Amino acid sequence: MKSEVSSPDEDAGLETVLSGTNLTTDGGGVTLAAPPPVRPSASHRKGTGWRVRFELMFLIGPGVIVFIFFVILPVIMAAYYGFFKWNGYGSPTNFIGLRNYVTIFQDPKFRSALGHNIVIAIASLVTQGPIAFLLALLLNRKMRGRSVFRVLIFVPYVISEVIAGTGWSLILQTNGALNGLLTKIGLGGFTQDWLSNSSLAVWVLVAILGWKYIGFAIILFMAGMQGIPEELTEAASIDGASYWQIQRYITLPLLGPTIRIWIFLSIIGSMQLFDLINVIWGHLVAFTAGTSTMAEYMYSKGPGAGTWGYSNAVAVVIFLVSLVIALVYQRFVLRRDTKGALTGGDA
């Protein structure tokens, strides 16, 4: 039988062969040593750092410039003009300090407009959310003509607000298509002055907003549902869970981040609502019909009255109200979602 013990001469030769490598011997065998770390040269590290900085500036720079010139700078200028009594011509010279800002909150029309914004935001969430969720569940199932229904539901969202507002203003006039249809089918007792009746106008606006923007909510919800693993629903179904139990305990919790993002976008949009109201009602009828908003109030004090300094102050107030809502929502609602994204879902 051949001996397994190497001679001293063999060990010396092996050490000679292994010299300069990552292998070492301890007299009875070979031990694999960890390779020494390869450190990049100082010039290589410096070149990489400048390249990364250049790429960041190239990709982020244009967006930052646009944001500064079209968002930050207009807000600063509006805040500056808000300290003056200015009619929009020439440079403002009549400095009045915070008088414009104090007058805003003393004006009952502005408080009424702010209340309308809040009502519209809450009513839109309550009405659009459940309907959008149910329609998203329906359109997420395999069915014939699903693509056609998806396109048709999303069409109102991509229609211009001016076109949509013009169409609805013609439909809802006293002698418009809606009252004509009700009369022809024998429901003439339900005809109304839909646009001027102060007890109905705000709810008519909520219905129009639902028709216009529910497609956006449906698309968001469907996109969130596509990310839910089918294995979860299949396992729950095998365990005996019903369809609605699966939606309640699996779909809704996993759809939570998408729903919270939609709520945030809907609230901010409601705070800045202007186009549809101005096209359908106009800034004069909107105040009497109860559909005025903060943006409509701002417009009525600018081009409508020529008090551009006061109108700029209103714009700053709208910006601050939206900013406070965004920060509070981010702090107490979206913080968990964003923290989980930044930490890889370990939150």
User: The domain spanning residue 265 has which CATH number?
Assistant: 1.10.3720.10
Residue from 212, 225, 251 nearest 139 by CA: 225
Q: Stretch 2-10: mean pLDDT, rounded? A: 47
79 domain residue, yes or no = no
Give yes or no for residue 284 having a pLDDT over 70: yes
CA 120 to chain centre: 17
Task: From 264, 322, 266, select the one nearest 128 (Cα to Cα).
Answer: 266
Output the furthest CA–CA distance in the chain (Å, rounded).
115
- The closest of 333, 313, 317 to 265, measured between CA atoms, is 333
Per residue in 108-128, pLDDT (tens digit) is 999 999 999 999 999 999 999
In whole angstroms, what is the distance from residue 306 CA to residue 87 CA?
5
| pLDDT bucket at 104, cuts 50 / 70 / 90 | very high
Contact criterion met (CB below 8 Å) for 246 and 237:
yes
Looking at the domain assignment, is residue 159 inside a domain?
yes
Main-chain dihedrals φ then ψ at residue 240, nearest 5 degrees: 100, 10
Q: Which residues constitute the domain of residue 238?
A: 107-301
Residue 56 included in any domain = no
- Inter-residue contact 257 to 224 (CB < 8 Å): yes
Say how far apart CA 135 and CA 138 lie, in whole Å.
5
Sorted by sequence, the CB contacts under 8 Å of residue 100 that are 6+ apart come out as 82, 83, 85, 309, 310, 313
Q: Which single residue is written with the structure tokens 């390869």?
A: 38
pLDDT in tens, 285-321: 788 778 889 999 998 888 767 788 999 999 999 999 9
Helix, coil or strand: residue 239 = coil
Quick check: is 244 in a domain?
yes
* Exposed / middle / buried, residue 25 (Cβ in 10 Å: 0-12, 13-18, 19+): middle
What's the token pair of residue 15? 């050490």
Query: Structure pTM?
Result: 0.77
User: What's the chain's Rg over C-alpha atoms?
Assistant: 33
Please answer whether residues 22 and 32 qualify as being in contact, where contact means their C-beta atoms are separated by less than 8 angstroms.
Answer: yes
CB atoms within 10 A of CB 18: 14
Which residue type sits at 320?
L
In a domain, 85, yes or no: no
Q: Do 271 and 318 form a contact (C-beta atoms < 8 A)?
A: yes
| CB 299 within 8 Å of CB 283 | yes
Query: How many domains does the chain contain in total?
Result: 1
Does some domain include residue 145?
A: yes
Contact yes or no for 84/96 (Cβ under 8 A) = yes
Q: Answer whether residue 326 is part of any domain.
A: no
pLDDT at residue 31, rounded to an integer: 52
4 inside domain: no
Instruction: Report the candidate in 119, 158, 117 with the shortest Cα–Cα distance to residue 270.
Output: 117
Task: Pick 145 or 1 by higher pLDDT.
Answer: 145
Q: Say yes or no to pLDDT of 35 above 60.
A: no
